[in-house]
Every structure is written in structure tokens, then in C-alpha cells.
Amino acid sequence: MTEPRIRITVDGQPLQVEPALPLLTALRALGFPIPGLCHHPRTGEQGRCSLCIVEVRDRDGWRAEHACLLRCEPGLTVRTVSPHIHQLRSWAARLLLARGPFNEPAVEVMLRAVLAAAEKGDNGGQYPDAALPPLSADGTDAATPAMPPGCILCGRCIGMCTGIGKNKLAFLGRGKRLRIGYVHGPSDTGACGTCHACRGVCPTGFIRSNGQAAFSARLYRRRGVPRNNGD
């Protein structure tokens, strides 16, 4: 039996959707072009790339929300285009671009499209360029963590590794040193190196073979520090 549909309003249009569907999924199914890199049906909501920002109306006006973290509920009123949305998405896109180059060219195409859309949007002077995070001449952001390019820290690989019960991957460190690490511990079950599940959901192509190769060998093996050191 199909679930009864609920009414939401998007950009002024009344629409019907399945209740409790992630708003990002619903909007895309309805044909609204919402960018996003960290959401994947198999790895759950991450809310990490901030490209899917939309605005939701409440008693106090419009507030910015990640569409991937919101669920459809009756009466939800959403807008997908506004100067504020463009500005927030373009900030996110610039930070993500600073993590390139990416093995998967579609990532840069999407990020540049977000910037182009923001430029065309009507935000004339309301959010001055000076407020944007600075990019250096070589295209790397001043605040880029000390980690190899190509990973946007979206967390899909962790979501997949956890979802299939292997629990080999985790976020380690904080701030500039936030990174994905290959970990050992009591919740760590099964061998890494055979399933390649993380590779299948990585949007940027950073993982070429498996999590162990990508994160243990390339990223976090420091001279004098055991490979399985948690941080």
C-alpha cells in the first residue's frame, strides 16, 4: 500500500511528496537542481559539504538548512534560490575546490557550476566578496588542513564502512587536522582491503583501491608513529 502523500511548498509551488523523505531526495525527484556531494542513499545524512543549503520558512522568517538533513513534513515551506542561499553555497564550493584537484572531474564541474549560479544570482553587494574565504594564487586555501588533495572530508566512506559493519574508518583530529583515519579497535570487525565499498561511494575518486591503502598508507603514516596510532 502506498503511503499517503503530504503537501509541501517549494519556491511558491504546492507539491506532494512522501512523508519523512529527506528533503534533498524529494527536491531532486521533483526536478529542483540542488547540488550536494556528501549525501548518498547508502551512507546516510552527513551534512558536511554544505552545498545543499536551502531556506525553510518558520515563524521568524527564512532560515538556512541543509536539505539532506531535513525530512519532509506537512506544511514545510522551502525556497531553493535566494541571494543568501547562493552566498552560502558559493562559500562551501570555494572551500571544497581548495581541496582539489580531484580524480573525478565531475566534482569540479559541479563546484564551478555552483559558483557560476551564485554569480548570476541577485546578490548585488549584499554579501561582499571580501567576506569570502581567501584563496591563494595557487588555488589552495590558506586554511587547508595538512592532508593530500582530493578528499573533501564528506564522510561517505565512513558511513559505508560503518553501515556494512566493518568500522575501519573514522574522523580523527579536529580543526585543520580533521581527517579520515584507518583505525583498529573493539568495534573494528572484518578485514579491510577486499570489499572496496568505500571506493564505490567516494564522490571525488580519492580512494583508488581500499580504505587501508588510502588512509593508512597515504594519509597518516608518519615517520616514527605506528600506523595504527589513533591520532
In the complex, least distance from residue 205 CB atom to ligand SF4, rounded to whole angstroms: 8
Whether 36 contacts 52, CB under 8 Å:
yes
User: Residue 36, interface with ligand FES (CB under 6 A)?
Assistant: yes
Total count of residues recorded for the chain: 231
* Angle (CA) 204 198 231, round 5°: 90
204 binds, among ligand SF4, ligand FES, none (CB under 5 to 8 A by kind): ligand SF4
Q: Which is nearer to ligand FES, 183 or 201 (CB)?
A: 201
Cell digits for 12? 511558491
Which residue number, 82 or 167, has a Cβ lying nearer to ligand SF4?
167
Residues 60-89 that bind ligand FES (CB under 6 A): 66, 68
Q: Which amino acid is at 44?
A: G
Residues 83, 168: Cα–Cα separation, whole Å: 41
HSE (side-chain half, CA atoms, 13 Å) at 140: 11
The residue ranges that bind ligand SF4 (CB under 6 A) are 151-157, 180, 202-204, 206-207
Specify the residue, 54 or 107, whose C-beta has the smaller distance to ligand SF4: 107
DSSP, collapsed to helix, strand or coil, labels residue 96 as helix
Nearest-approach distance from CB 154 to ligand FES, in angstroms:
7
* Interface pick for ligand FES out of 23, 26, 27, 37 (rule CB under 6 A): 37
